[in-house]
């Protein structure tokens, strides 16, 4: 007879508990969002060790919960296809070391996000993320005050310039002002959802929203302004759809979709005046020169690209040549779509764009049909990620990649061909604990 109190059974029972799921989620999110601090203070090896341990623990948790999962439901097809194509790109990469390490980093961060998506529901994820961001943003403000006011000296090892006394820009614990601005916008969405769902006391919600807003302003990040406006417009549109009667909802959805497509078409038609305006007001020529150079290199390998690397290493080809001719030291293409195009070619770009588009459509439809405000978190964060991808490559690594995978898996759990099969097999009863609203 099997001993129910054996160490293995006790360990598996512990791994299945809600307390373990919450602890893992908070630890993983803290490691991901605090990666810059860990790397700057303890080194890249320490960060890699932490992520490896999180992957191992996450695999153990999924194994312990294996009866709750199905292999086909672990990750969306689009996500699997994109990751596999990145792996295949190692075949033609000219760098035997950079490409596998870049792919393993993407796989590790993505796997951690998949684990979180399966052990926590949307509200629990929002609560955990809210706790983590509250702590990191408060610590960022404290360190900026210490650097720029109390000691009046920069902290180069953290990338903090100590400019808070002059109104910014500040970087906080995230390395750059643009990353701080991006995190602050994601935090605003998260804190607003916490407030609307009454997940935290009103005083905590007001403090959190004020903290994120102050740091977004102090970051002086131009992308943060664009992100905030984009997310606000998306939430207003979503609120309009949610208030519309179900009979008219489809027509409103198509009207909004048509308006978005028309807006993109107009923006493309007026791209030259827009680019001249951006060049005159925001130093856009730096990005334009980089993207033109990337397009030149892509023409040599348009289908498969040059192999996945993620972050641009100093000696990685052809990134090193691009930087040499531009006289710059870019660590990315400053655009997630151009980065994918350069590294994975047009096939990779189509897979990445499909992953993002399908995740957004699924999450939007779920948020427009279900009553709880918590479902608005996923499409709002996806809007922030997609808009930010036009100016930075955050979506392809670290914080951005974890959020993208988390949102894609979360959206696929409610809007997927797999759920259709489940409904057919169960006679119309959803197999998900939070099944589709009827």
When comparing pLDDT for 269 and 76, which is higher?
76
* pLDDT, tens only, 306-351: 888 888 876 678 888 888 888 888 888 889 999 999 999 999 999 9
* pLDDT, tens only, 124-140: 999 999 999 999 999 99
| DSSP letter assigned to residue 66 | G
Which of 272, 293, 379, 307 is CA-nearest to residue 335? 293
H or E stretch covering 11: helix 7-15
In the block, tokens 């983590």 appear at 132
Q: Which two tokens stand for residue 378?
A: 């996923």
Rounded to the nearest angstrom, the gap between the alpha carbon of residue 240 and the centroid of all alpha carbons in its chain is 26
State how far the Cα of 335 lies from the Cα of 341, in Å rounded to an integer: 10
pLDDT at 437: 36
End-to-end CA distance of the chain: 46
For the cut 80, the answer to whether the pLDDT of residue 7 exceeds it is no
> What mean pLDDT do residues 160-170 have?
86
The answer to whether residues 341 and 348 touch, using CB atoms and an 8 Å cutoff, is yes
> What mean pLDDT do residues 378-397 have?
91
pLDDT at 130: 94
Q: Taking the CA of residue 193 as centre, how many other CA atoms within 13 Å lie in the half-sphere pointing to its CB?
A: 29
The answer to whether residues 169 and 193 touch, using CB atoms and an 8 Å cutoff, is no
State how far the Cα of 104 lies from the Cα of 342, in Å rounded to an integer: 19
pLDDT at 162: 84
* pLDDT, tens only, 222-267: 888 889 998 999 999 888 888 888 778 888 888 888 888 887 788 7
> What mean pLDDT do residues 38-61 have?
92
> What mean pLDDT do residues 174-192 have?
93
The answer to whether residues 389 and 98 touch, using CB atoms and an 8 Å cutoff, is no
State residue 155 phi and psi, 5-degree precision.
-115, 85
When comparing pLDDT for 40 and 437, which is higher?
40
């Amino acid at each position: 007879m099997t001993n129910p109190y054996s160490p293995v059974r006790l360990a598996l029972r512990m791994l299945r508990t809600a307390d373990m799921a919450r602890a893992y989620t908070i630890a993983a999110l803290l490691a991901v969002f605090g990666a810059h601090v860990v790397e700057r203070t303890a080194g890249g090896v320490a960060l890699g060790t932490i992520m490896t341990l999180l992957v191992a623990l996450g695999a153990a948790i999924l194994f312990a919960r294996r009866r709750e999962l199905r292999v086909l439901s672990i990750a969306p097809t689009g996500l699997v296809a994109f990751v596999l194509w990145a792996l295949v790109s190692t075949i033609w990469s000219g760098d035997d070391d950079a490409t596998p390490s870049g792919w393993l980093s993407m796989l590790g961060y993505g796997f951690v996000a998949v684990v979180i998506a399966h052990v926590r529901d949307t509200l629990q994820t929002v609560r955990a993320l809210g706790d983590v961001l509250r702590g990191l943003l408060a610590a960022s403000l404290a360190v900026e005050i210490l650097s720029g006011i109390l000691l009046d000296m920069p902290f180069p090892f953290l990338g903090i310039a100590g400019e808070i006394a002059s109104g910014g820009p500040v970087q906080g614990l995230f390395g750059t002002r643009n990353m701080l601005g991006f995190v602050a916008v994601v935090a605003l969405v998260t804190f607003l959802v916490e407030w609307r769902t009454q997940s935290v006391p009103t005083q905590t919600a007001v403090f959190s929203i004020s903290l994120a807003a102050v740091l977004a302003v102090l970051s002086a990040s131009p992308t943060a302004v664009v992100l905030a406006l984009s997310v606000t417009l998306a939430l207003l549109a979503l609120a309009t759809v949610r208030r519309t009667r179900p009979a008219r909802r489809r027509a409103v959805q198509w009207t909004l979709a048509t308006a978005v497509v028309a807006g993109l078409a107009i923006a493309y038609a007026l791209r030259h005046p827009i680019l001249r305006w951006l060049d005159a007001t925001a130093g856009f020529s730096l990005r334009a020169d980089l993207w033109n150079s990337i397009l030149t290199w892509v023409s040599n390998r348009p289908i498969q690209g040059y192999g996945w690397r993620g972050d641009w290493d100093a000696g990685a080809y052809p990134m090193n040549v691009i930087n040499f001719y531009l006289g710059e030291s870019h660590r990315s293409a400053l655009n997630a779509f151009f980065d994918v195009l350069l590294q994975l070619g047009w096939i990779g770009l189509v897979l990445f764009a499909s992953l993002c588009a399908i995740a957004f459509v699924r999450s939007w439809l779920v948020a427009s049909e279900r009553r709880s405000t918590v479902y608005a978190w996923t499409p709002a964060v996806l809007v922030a990620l997609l808009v930010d991808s036009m100016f930075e490559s955050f979506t392809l690594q670290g914080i951005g990649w974890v959020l993208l995978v988390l949102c894609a898996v979360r959206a696929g759990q409610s809007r997927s061909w797999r759920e259709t099969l489940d409904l057919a097999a169960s006679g119309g009863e959803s197999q998900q604990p939070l099944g589709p609203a009827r």
